[in-house]
Structure 1
Amino acid sequence: MPQVSVIIPTRNRANLLAEAIESVLNQTYSDFELVIVDDGSTDHTAEVVTAFRDQRIVYCKQEKQERGAARNKGVALSQGEFITFLDDDDWYMPRKLEIQVRELRANPDVGIVIGGWDRVKESGELVRSERPWLHHPKPALQDWLFAAMAHVAAVMIRRSWFERVGGFNHILEQSEDTYFWFRLAQERCPVAWVKEMVFRQRIHGSNSVRNLQHVKKGKVSMLETIFADPNISTHLGMSKENAFARVYMGFACLQYAANLPEDAKADLAYAVELDPSLLLNNADRLFEIVAAYAWNHLTDDPIVFTNRVFSNLPEKLSDLQKHRRAAVARTWIVGAFRSYQYKDMGKVRNNVFRAFAADPSSLLNRGLISILVRSLINSDQLSRA
């Protein structure tokens, strides 16, 4: 019986699937099986799989369902004590299995381990590296719903924990993975970070109106499921209105990034209607969310994004225009702190100075001054070395 089961659900990605399969077969750790669930493909996926002639591959074709159901099917067909996943257009780093198996073996109480990952363009060019442990070293329950701290290919989970929460809720299309992490956290599954990049995620141009509305529908459906069960929602620590406001605020930002201002304005207005506290203290929380999202991998440029928001505010929020320069400064401040977490001291200094230029009152931010001084000390030490 193999120790690890790798599950790849696939549909009509024959042109990309081979690269995903090769990244599994070329792992430095070899005690695994690879279960490929063909979810109703109409291309030559079967031929791609059978061409590998590797006894560790298990291939199953089923009628078209959805990725959550396909992942569950793969787990049902598998035997490994440890389970991990890979999407058909992504690929593992060579030591992904070795690193995560070692962590689970060394820590028997840990139920799931999570690594970092690189987001890349279809050409393979690096867009951004995700290191969730920097921003959420000890994640709260809410973080699993709203912070996108894990990707299915970045994790490895014990079969016992997968079965304990019932696998993926395939009814929650587009949000089944987020709900899965939430259920694990709600059941207090012990988590460990593996502070290495374990896979590469291929980013596609999918921010169409239709796709975004589909994703939003899935997220709303997930929250409805959570708040329909008082045994779950009471542990969340926030009201239904505030939770939905977080979702609509997030989708407003997503649609601003996709240059869909009319949809963005509608969602932003609804978020504020659900949670008026977003406007307290000169809309401090609202600006903080916008500034954080400005550095999302889906935005082409943080300042272009911030200015787009302020150029396309809902009519009832038009008075916030007077805070545009402060909001731009906030965006640079968030960028400075992100750069500090990633130990990029040159960008720390650049972002701090841009924050000062946009809003001189940024000089009153003690934390900002602190990381500026540390970045300068670090630069001086390197120049003397």
Structure 2
Amino acid sequence: MALISVIIPAYNSMTYLPETLNSVLGQTHADFEVLIIDDGSSDHVQEWASKIADSRVKLIAQPNQGASAARNTGITHAQGKYLAFLDADDLWQPNKLEKQLQCFAENPEVGLVHTWVTMINEKSKPTGGILTSFSEGAVWEQLLERNTIACCSVMVRRDCFEQAGLFDQSLRSAEDWDMWIRIARYYPFAVIRQPLALYRMIPTSKSKNCQLVEQSLSRIIEKNFQAVPPELSHLRSRSYGYANFNLAWKALQSRDKDYKAARQFRERAIGYYPELRSTRDYLRLTLAISLMQWFGPNGYSTLLSSLGILRRLALTITNPSLAK
């Protein structure tokens, strides 16, 4: 039995899936199984998987049911003591699993270990952005406000799901946030402050569908605040504030690059949580909306590309391994 089960939901993902799998097979810790859950794909993933010589890789096919159901299928078939989740277009640094296992060994009470994340583009090049998180210890209240943990960075002890349940299959987006909240009710978290996972920014991805994401975020907030004691009820408005902030960025990052929708989400966020106006994130968002309005989608994309080149250059100088 493998120590770690790596679960990869796949739906018409052959553009990136081979590279994703290679980043797993190249891990410095090799005691793992890889469960690729084919969620009703039509892009010959089964034919591709049948040619993989590594016996650690298994393909499980099911009718299309969404990412939550695919992850749940992986969980129920997993053999490992630890479960790690990776979307079919994201990547890992070679030492990710090794460092997370070490963290679990040093912190046996922890239920979930996550890492920082490097943002990459469709060509697997770093954009210069790094998603940092300091969510460790008792993080339930913090996660009620907003999600600070990327799914591609997570490793979870198997027994967490026996306590917290599986992914909510009624959610079509942001289902990982709901899962982390539920796990955090029972277990402390740990974070490795190094970017060991790589998240791919794709304008047409499901996560950029603002309407779909908005519906899921609202359901997650209402669902989880049903169990919140009265003294923490004020966090609900903060949660809606951060959710609308998230939606504003997604509107800018979507294929349509809708700055008007971004502006509406931003104002709604401030309505829920006025203190956001004094944050650095508010200034960044306001600047991005203004640049989109002034330069238009093409000019904005060109500007971001230029800034990305500068950030990648800085990464190359400070840490060459992150710029590969």
Q: TM-score, normalised by structure 1?
A: 0.68
In the other structure, the counterpart of 1:69 is: 69
From the two aligned structures, give the one with the greater helix fraction. Answer: 1
- 1:153 counterpart = 2:143: no
- Displacement of 1:264 in angstroms is 3.5
In the other structure, the counterpart of 1:219 is: 217
Aligned AA for 2:147? A
Contact conserved, 2:113 with 2:154, CA < 8 A, in 1? yes
In the other structure, the counterpart of 2:311 is: none
In the other structure, the counterpart of 2:166 is: 167
Aligned AA for 2:239? A
Structural mapping, 1:87-98, within 5 Å = 87-98=87-98
In the other structure, the counterpart of 2:281 is: 292
In the other structure, the counterpart of 1:305 is: 289
Task: Classify 1:83/1:288 alpha carbon distance in 2 versus 1 (closer, same or farther; 3 Å).
Answer: same
Contact conserved, 1:223 with 1:244, CA < 8 A, in 2? yes
* Bigger relative contact order, structure 1 or 2 (CA pairs below 8 A, ≥6 apart): 2
Give SS of 2:16's match: helix
In the other structure, the counterpart of 1:244 is: 240
In the other structure, the counterpart of 2:133 is: 132
- Displacement of 1:201 in angstroms is 1.3
* Alpha-carbon displacement from aligned partner over 1:230-251 (angstroms, at most 9, x marks no partner): x346474426445334433443
- Displacement of 1:122 in angstroms is 1.0
For 1:210 and 1:149, how far apart are their aligned partners in 2? 17
For 1:21 and 1:208, how far apart are their aligned partners in 2? 21
For 1:239 and 1:146, how far apart are their aligned partners in 2? 6
Aligned AA for 1:292? D
Aligned AA for 2:91? W
* Alpha-carbon displacement from aligned partner over 1:124-168 (angstroms, at most 9, x marks no partner): 2212122212xx566743432444321122111110112211021
Contact conserved, 2:208 with 2:251, CA < 8 A, in 1? no
Aligned AA for 1:194? I
In the other structure, the counterpart of 2:204 is: 206
Q: How many residues align?
A: 295
* Alpha-carbon displacement from aligned partner over 1:257-316 (angstroms, at most 9, x marks no partner): 66424434444454455x4x72xxxxxx24224x31554xxx7xx734357699xxxxxx
Give SS of 1:2's match: coil
Task: Classify 1:226/1:49 alpha carbon distance in 2 versus 1 (closer, same or farther; 3 Å).
Answer: same
Task: Classify 1:235/1:169 alpha carbon distance in 2 versus 1 (closer, same or farther; 3 Å).
Answer: farther
For 2:266 and 2:18, how far apart are their aligned partners in 1? 42
Structural mapping, 1:308-347, within 5 Å = none
Contact conserved, 2:247 with 2:265, CA < 8 A, in 1? yes
Q: Which moved more, 1:6-15 or 1:98-107?
A: 98-107
Aligned AA for 1:288? S
* Alpha-carbon displacement from aligned partner over 1:334-362 (angstroms, at most 9, x marks no partner): xxxxxxxx9xxxxxxxxxxxxxxxxxxxx
Task: Classify 1:288/1:254 alpha carbon distance in 2 versus 1 (closer, same or farther; 3 Å).
Answer: farther
Contact conserved, 1:14 with 1:43, CA < 8 A, in 2? yes
Identity of aligned residues (%): 28
- Displacement of 1:95 in angstroms is 0.9
In the other structure, the counterpart of 1:15 is: 15
Contact conserved, 2:5 with 2:79, CA < 8 A, in 1? yes
In the other structure, the counterpart of 2:181 is: 182
Aligned AA for 2:278? E
In the other structure, the counterpart of 2:86 is: 86
In the other structure, the counterpart of 2:258 is: 260
For 1:256 and 1:9, how far apart are their aligned partners in 2? 26
Q: Which moved more, 1:54-63 or 1:203-212?
A: 203-212
Task: Classify 1:131/1:47 alpha carbon distance in 2 versus 1 (closer, same or farther; 3 Å).
Answer: same
For 2:4 and 2:205, how far apart are their aligned partners in 1? 34
For 1:209 and 1:10, how far apart are their aligned partners in 2? 15
Task: Classify 1:180/1:12 alpha carbon distance in 2 versus 1 (closer, same or farther; 3 Å).
Answer: same
